[in-house]
Homo-oligomer: A and B are copies of this chain.
Amino acid sequence: MQVFFTPGPAQLYPTFESHVQQAIREQIGSISHRSKQFRGIYQFAVEQLRELLNIPADRAILFSGSATEIWERIIQNCAEKETTHFVNGSFSKRFYEFSVELGKKAQKFEAPFGQGFDITRHTVSDSSELICLTHNETSSGVSMPLADIHYFKKTYPGKIVAVDVVSSAPYPDLDWSLVDTAFFSVQKAFGLPAGLGVWIVNETCLQKAEQMKQQGQYIGTHHSLPSLWKNYLNYETPATPNVFGMYLLGKVVKDMNAIGVRKIRQETEEKATLLYQFLEQSEKFRPAVENPAHRSQTVIVAEVENPAEKIASLKEKGLVIGSGYGAYKDKQVRIANFPATSFENIQKLIKELE
């Protein structure tokens, strides 16, 4: 068996297989999505996620096909005309491009690849309705400090703040009073197969969507926010969802809660420290993100000569690391540091990188 350090799809959570076997025994693939049993699965996942991420009771927790879909749904439902984007990599850029494709006026602040922002230097447009932030740029390994994430709602209380935590949750300890909506996908730090996005939303977002709908604006169909929310109140979904994935998510998050999110966050930092220390001391590798305050704890990006050669030789030893993203394939590698990755495997990887 190979050990995956890829930034998603990623190493599966250690308990994944036993939960799959249990799901097969319980015939989860056959149950109706309008049954009491399904509503129990949805409710269980919600309760476990609330505990893990400290999500207030008044937030809806919704499911989509992917986090990419949630980019689309947020822009459709939370901005009538204008959005603002902090772009520091390929995924935050796609989020921005979605707004343009959806016909919005999109304000963009862009940092060079591998760099973060001095946020106080940028002023969000008065007419912008939605500020889109990416906590962890999976492409560049740049993370936006939590204090910066929280700065926006304090500074612009009338605007909706959306935070992409796709490849960092459950690591960031978000202050939900300063975040209107956040989202992630399960194939990153939750160690599950892809095919499910999780969307956490407050009533401010719902009201915005309802107001747009009343004005005859296009907010989508089955996966509009009012449609998802209305179904969520009954722990149902507008379309037949990935029931199997929702079942597995609830079970894996329960396992994470048994460890405790504080310990998971602490171990994430300890493993990241090991990796960054190695990169800084190495003669071959160096951290791609120079400013330590902007370095991701969950997706560590390193510069190296001949990355393809390094990736191939590690693969022969059963260790799969990620290539650099897009144009950075020739210069960088990416190493995921998710909860499914043990200290032992990080140490083993470091030894082989040496």
Contacts and interface: CB of A to CB of B under 8 A. Distances in A.
A247 B222 CA distance: 26
Contacts of A193: 28-29, 242-244
Interface string A234-249: 0000111111110000
A221 B30 contact: no
A195 B192 contact: no
A30 to B, nearest CB: 4
A187 interface: yes
Contacts of A71: 221-222
Nearest to A101: B221
A242 B243 CA distance: 12
Interface in A1-52: 1-2, 4, 6, 8-12, 16-17, 20, 24, 27-33
A98 interface: yes
29 contacts: A6-B32, A8-B240, A9-B33, A9-B240, A10-B30, A12-B27, A12-B29, A12-B30, A29-B192, A29-B193, A29-B194, A65-B65, A65-B69, A65-B239, A69-B223, A72-B221, A97-B221, A98-B222, A101-B224, A185-B240, A187-B240, A193-B243, A194-B241, A194-B243, A195-B196, A195-B242, A195-B244, A218-B218, A242-B242
B6 A221 contact: no
Contacts of A31: 9
A145 interface: no
A172 B8 CA distance: 38
A68 B242 contact: no
A103 interface: yes
Contacts of A24: 17, 20
Interface string A73-92: 00000000000000000000
A194 B72 contact: no
A102 interface: yes
B1 A29 contact: no
Nearest to A224: B101
B65 A66 contact: yes
Interface in A210-244: 216, 218, 220-224, 238-244
Contacts of A223: 69, 72
Given A72-B222, A222-B69, A242 B194 contact: yes
Contacts of A28: 193
B239 A66 contact: yes
Contacts of A244: 193-195
Nearest to A100: B221
Contacts of A322: 32
Given A102-B218, A222-B72, A30 B9 contact: yes
A136 to B, nearest CB: 16
